[in-house]
Amino acid sequence: MFKSPRGTNDILPKDWQYWNYVISKAENIARFYNYDRIETPVIEDSNLFLRSIGANTDIVEKEMYIFPDHGGDNLSLRAEGTAPVCRAYLEHGLHNSSHPLRLYYISSMFRYDRPQAGRYRQFHQFGIELLGEEDYSADFEIIEFAIKYLAALGLTEIKLLINNIGDLQDREKYIADLKKYFKNHINSFNAQDRKRFEENPLRLLDSKNIDFEQFVDIPQSINYLNDTARLHWENLLKQLEYFKISYTIDPKLVRGLDYYNRTVFEIHPTTDGSQTAIIAGGRYDGLIEQLGGKPTPAIGFATGIERIILNLNKNNIHPIETIKELWLVAYLGVEAKTEAIKILNYLRENKQISVLAPNRSLKSQMRYASAINATKVIIIGDEELKNSTIIIKEMKTGEQNTIPLKELTF
């Protein structure tokens, strides 16, 4: 018997109550903030991710699905959403439209990761991107959007972690000092972290192998900001405080993708002491230019739908299922079946959820009605055909009445 590949999951009918809830809330919030949906291919040129995410990141080194196609092109399954959106932004002339431009996506992603709760090799993300606005108000909008989205889902026990990793020129001095600081401790690092030390010391702050409690005086990026970046940072924090959005500055927060600059943030649940972010994002003002476009400030976030659903369950938040009226049309005989299909089409034309009973005995058809939670059953047999009538049975009460077929109206 075949099984789904490790790290992937089937989304079964019983699961869609949660999925529809999470996705509908995302789409509603996006609509009120005037974000338009965009969808990119599930495969991309591998160089798109190598250039944008960074060759020395865990995603590129360990997690991407990279393969040559039959034509010799080097392709990758989509590992994250921002770089493909930026590629589409340039390819289709969206950079010529009015700015700022607000886009969102709900897409599947693929990473060769160690499967665990809330982390899979195929997973789904809801993400938003705000392109063409450098003002701190854009940073605030993205963070506020994230918090309001979680609140709409019922996830209010959260904490916002935030940092500013500066502009590219700020990071040169910061990284030099970071490397000088960690040089005295390199003997305690494993092989992977030694490689990070040599190639990109900023990635050391992402390491899960380093006990940072012993490093109390690590250089902090916010002490290296240029005047423009510092003013942007201070104004953002003032805006958060004015609107009573609590935050914690986390100097080790750098995010795992090389395209970030200035504001980076994560939102964590506080209810179970989890260290896993449920929303994360930041600025990427240099990415569009890096991909061949004009300098374009931008910021966004992404959240894993599976991880959101996991947290809904942890918090005993269960979507309220709308009680729907479901009709089952039961029949006895070939001629009655034809009439039943006509009635079924009439029901659907009048926006009634309806289904034809399976070709079984009437008793079995009624058992099927109970199994699918049908609220009403229409029964038609030889007698009803002869008299142009139908029987309507209310499944909840068991009451049934015979009425002329022409009186079935909506």
- C-alpha torsion angle, residues 18, 19, 25, 28 (rounded to 10): -140
Task: Report the alpha-carbon distance of residue 368 to residue 104 in Å, rounded.
Answer: 41
Q: Judging by DSSP bridges, how do beta strands 101-110 and 122-131 pair with one another? A: antiparallel
Under the banding of pLDDT at 50, 70 and 90, the label for residue 272 is low
* Least trusted range by pLDDT, from 26-35, 110-119, 225-234, 258-267: 110-119
Check pLDDT > 70 for residue 88: yes
What is the DSSP annotation of 12-62?
-GGGHHHHHHHHHHHHHHHHHTTPEE----SEEEHHHHHHHH-TTSHIIII
Q: What is the pLDDT of residues 305-337, one digit of tens each?
A: 999 999 999 999 988 777 789 999 999 988 999
In this structure, which amino acid lies at residue 120? Y
Count Cβ neighbours within 10 Å for each residue of 14-53 and write b for 16 or more, e otherwise: eeeebbebbbebbeebbeebebeebebeebbebebbbbbb
Any idea what the Cα angle at residue 57 is, between residues 128 and 4, rounded to 5°?
70
Most confident of 211-225, 250-264, 354-368: 354-368
CA–CA distance from 332 to each of 126, 335, 390 (Å)? 48, 8, 12
For the chain, the domains span 13-167+225-314, 326-407
Which pLDDT does position 200 carry in this prediction?
A: 75
Under the banding of pLDDT at 50, 70 and 90, the label for residue 193 is confident
Average pLDDT over residues 241-246: 96
Q: What percent of the chain has pLDDT over 90?
A: 67
Check pLDDT > 90 for residue 252: no
Which pLDDT does position 273 carry in this prediction?
A: 57
- Supply φ then ψ for residue 76, to 5 degrees: -135, 145
Dmax of the chain from CA atoms? 95
Average pLDDT over residues 165-192: 81
Check pLDDT > 70 for residue 45: yes
- Which residues are registered as beta bridge partners of 248? 161
Are the C-beta atoms of 377 and 327 separated by less than 8 Å?
Answer: yes
Q: Which CATH class is domain 326-407?
A: alpha beta
Are the C-beta atoms of 288 and 90 separated by less than 8 Å?
Answer: yes
What does the DSSP 8-state code read for residue 63? I
Check pLDDT > 80 for residue 159: yes
Task: Report the alpha-carbon distance of residue 405 to residue 390 in Å, rounded.
Answer: 6
Q: What is the pLDDT of residues 391-400, one digit of tens each?
A: 999 999 999 9
Nearest to 162 by CA among 250, 254, 256: 250
> Which distant-in-sequence residues (6+ apart) come within 8 Å of 150 by Cβ?
156, 158, 267, 278, 279
Q: What is the pLDDT of residues 196-205, one digit of tens each?
A: 777 777 777 7
Q: What is the mean pLDDT of the chain?
A: 90
Average pLDDT over residues 25-30: 96
Q: In the CATH hierarchy, which fold is given to the domain comprising 13-167+225-314?
A: BirA Bifunctional Protein; domain 2 (3.30.930)
Which pLDDT does position 352 carry in this prediction?
A: 94
Q: What percent of the chain has pLDDT over 70?
A: 95
Which position has the higher pLDDT, 175 or 340?
A: 340
Distance of CA 406 to the CA centre of its chain: 48
